[in-house]
Chain A
Amino acid sequence: MEDKEIVERILAGDTEQYTLIVRRYQQIVANLTYKLCGTRLEVEEVTQQVFVELYMALPRFRFDSKLSSYIYRITVNVVSKMLNKSKRFVSSDEWENPPEQVSSDRNAEQQIIHNERMEALRTAIGHLKDEQRTALILYTFEDFSYNQIAEVMQCSLAKVESLIFRAKKNLAKEIKN
């Protein structure tokens, strides 16, 4: 069933249909949340919040854009609010290390260097301004186009370009230091 049809049924009073939307998009929201927050600790809580807010906002959604874009936008907003509330982004110390992926073509020493490099990069991402980090993560980790990012972040294409450019520049500068 198409998203639009499901939403129409929900708005007509069949709220149980909302389970279809949640099942369809919950992992996408969780993945983005994890990348934006840098920790898995709050992924579940934020994902739940996103879907509650989406439900509340459904009567205002007119399908001018894809529902997935709308969900991304809500996710970015919820994460942003959460980070502002807690007055922090996940610092390098809090960014959980994913399971180490030991590459067969690296020796132990190279692996340590690689891990340190990734750790430095995470730290630098954590130090970026919220908007720069969001744009960079959507572009690099989610493979969004500039247009999609502009739609999700509700800003101009030029601003997206600028945010990503400055984000990369700041990352390079911090890693170099």
Chain B
Amino acid sequence: MNIDEQLKQLAQQTCPKQVDVVDSVMAEVRKHPYLQPAAKSSVRKMHWVSWASVTAAAAAVGLILVNSNTATAATYNEEQIGAMMASVADYGYYSPIESAAENPIEYLYEDDDENEY
């Protein structure tokens, strides 16, 4: 007898028992109400809350950056601007080293100027 015939005989011999898992399954299913519309809408609300938080945080950061730029710009007085203009006139470009003593903040732009060389 070949293997296929033996397998057929074995298949005929298997008699699984009858099961009834309806009650136990439904008991488990009722513990997971996430499919119900009410639960769905609360999940959506939570998403909206999350997005609103992220948007608000981003706006706040943007506002701070704008304000800090405004504040930095406001620190240049007429003398500093004049010094910058003079530097440009002398060297053909703005030299932060010349004006560093007067305005150390300009060192922040040192790398940018080096790139122009």
Contacts and interface: CB of A to CB of B under 8 A. Distances in A.
Q: How many A residues touch the partner, as a band?
A: 35 or more
Contacts of B20: 26
A157 B64 CA distance: 61
A31 B37 contact: no
A11 B35 CA distance: 6
B30 A48 contact: no
B7 interface: yes
Given A99-B15, A172-B3, A22 B25 contact: yes
Interface stretch (A61-69, A72-80, A81-89, A115-123): A115-123
A31 B14 CA distance: 9
Contacts, number: 99
B115 interface: no
Interface in A5-64: 10-13, 15-16, 18-19, 22-23, 26-27, 30-31, 33-35, 40, 43-44, 47-48, 51-52, 55-56, 58-59
Interface of A: 10-13, 15-16, 18-19, 22-23, 26-27, 30-31, 33-35, 40, 43-44, 47-48, 51-52, 55-56, 58-59, 98-99, 101, 114, 117-118, 121-122, 136, 140-141, 168, 171-172, 175
